[in-house]
Chains A and B, each alone.
Chain A
């Protein structure tokens, strides 16, 4: 490879040095984006943690004020896998929601009561991750989000109808796991599931 010569601000720079400069610029921009993305995510998490409201913080609003920047930022973080915040299980481990499906035949006899069945623990873990979207049901008071969550619930019920032979009716119960503190458990307070909502779907 032949080194080409460039002159930048009167300095003589060859291809190899140019590559190094570009690399360092890329590294700074890359990590600046990652850090800013984390500021956005953590700000949202903290607002939700302290005020109970799920709304965008000032970092997110600032980003979207500048035309094209918000979209470019989202595209870059999506493609590079950096769109997540790194505060895993922080500041606290959120309560877990569960969907319990009761499948019934045409007469109303119960065929099964279950969460969706999968072939591996990894797949089940992913299913439980999907259940987390229903936590939004507690936090978001927005009609469109409510409609989306109901559509997801309906889709899951349809899937259960399809995968259970002879099933004609599915009842879906959205539950939240209520775990007492260790001291409360020692005093025989039971861990239980609190029912948030109940839905019925018929074929």
Chain B
């Protein structure tokens, strides 16, 4: 109980701390922040339910008005804006990432983590984000998706990085990889 709690707390803090890493700008001029990498890692390392809980804590802090999102954003305004789906979508994204890692029995856990990050951290996240835009902006699914497409190359890079980091963790702290602990 206590260990699960502290893992959730520390990964929530990690996701927030990654928001302060200056964003890398892609060739296309689209900035990518490290924050959603933290969401992928939370799922891939902690497993489905703990990973999702870590994200719930972060979203709770946003609702409390703390500027913990990348670029110092926060507060209830985020929940009323067009990007709300991408924020709330972090919860199922982390959950699905963790669920896929624990079910995908590849020889190297990093490959499973990379695939899981693409399914959870990109597939599920963009689905939620697009639905959020559809509701707030009253657009069709295709129009809303088009607005978020420029961010996908950056997220693919993050999925590869998440897989690589998970490999390293499996190598140095095999016992800590709770998504594979069964």
| Same complex origin of A and B | no
